[in-house]
Structure 1
Amino acid sequence: MKRTQGGMTLISFIIVLAVVGVFIYMGMKLIPMYSEYYAVKRALSELSTDPAAANAEPSKIRDLFFRRLYVSYADNIKKEHFKIERRDAGYLVTVDYEVRKPLIGNLDVVGRFNATQEMRRSGGLD
């Protein structure tokens, strides 16, 4: 009875390493994009519970939002991506932006993100 040795050859091991390396490289490009998106969502959520923003004007709300993003090092969100729409009981704040990162050669990774938060005005002024 002849025994045969099983396992990966050197070529198959190199191919597996290359595939794993590509996925790790893609993760290194995608994780900061999603991290920035969650920073935007967190800033919007904190803004909706902030008493200073409850009865503030849209320009003040925009300033408070971008101050929160400055702390999170979110660089891809610009003033033109931030929109405030008046609603009956307050405002609807929308942040709609796109991030494009080069991947390999002429291939890019594109992330399109949209976050919205409803802000209610408080009943009375203090």
Structure 2
Amino acid sequence: MKRTQRGMTLIGFIITLAVVGVFVYMGMKTIPMYSEYYAVKQALNGLAQEPGVTGYDPAKIKDLFFRRLYISYADNVKAENVKVVRKDAGYVMTVEYEVRKPLIANLDVVGKFKADQELRRGAVD
């Protein structure tokens, strides 16, 4: 009786391990970018819930926003990426920024993020 072996060869296992390793490495580079974007969205939502936010001037609104981001260690959002525009009885705050992280050799991962939030009078004002 002849027994045949089944399974993956060593070369096949090494190639599979290398492919999985590349995807894990790419995830390690991209997940922090998206968690920072989530922190930006949370800061905008929290700012919208702030009582009396529509009575503040745009500089004070930006200051409150960056204080919320400071807690989340969001480093890629700069003052020039934030715009506060008057709309009706409130403001529209837009945060648009780009994150570039080196991946492998001369390849970079680039993430472009944009978040908008209306700041208006609510029931708490």
Separation in 1, partners of 2:78, 2:122: 28
Matched residue SS, 2:11: helix
Q: Deviations over 1:64-117 (max 9, x none)?
A: 000000000000000000001110121100000000000000000000000000
Residue matched to 2:61 = 61
Q: Quote the residue 1:49 is aligned against.
A: 49
Give structure 1 regions of 4+ aligned residues with deviation exceeding 2 angstroms.
Answer: none
- Secondary structure at the residue paired with 2:34? helix
Q: Name the residue aligned to 1:26.
A: 26
> Residues 1-126 of structure 1: matches in 2 within 5 Å?
2-121=2-121
User: Alignment partner of 2:96: what SS?
Assistant: strand
Over aligned residue pairs, what C-alpha RMSD do you find? 1.4
TM-score where L is the length of structure 1 = 0.93
Distance across 1 between alignment mates of 2:60 and 2:82: 13
Structure 1 residues 20-74: Cα deviation after superposition (integer angstroms, max 9, x where no partner) = 1000000000010000000000000000000142311111000000000000000
Paired residues in the alignment total 124
| Equivalent position SS for 1:34 | helix
CA distance in 1, matches of 2:72, 2:83: 20
CA–CA distance in structure 2, aligned partners of residues 122 and 106 of structure 1: 49
- Structure 1 counterpart of 2:107, which letter? L
State the secondary structure of the residue aligned to 1:51: coil
1:121 offset after TM fit, Å? 3.3
Amino acid at match of 1:97: Y
* 1:122 positional shift: 5.5
Q: 1:121 to 1:57 in 2, by over 3 A?
A: farther
SS class of match (1:7): coil
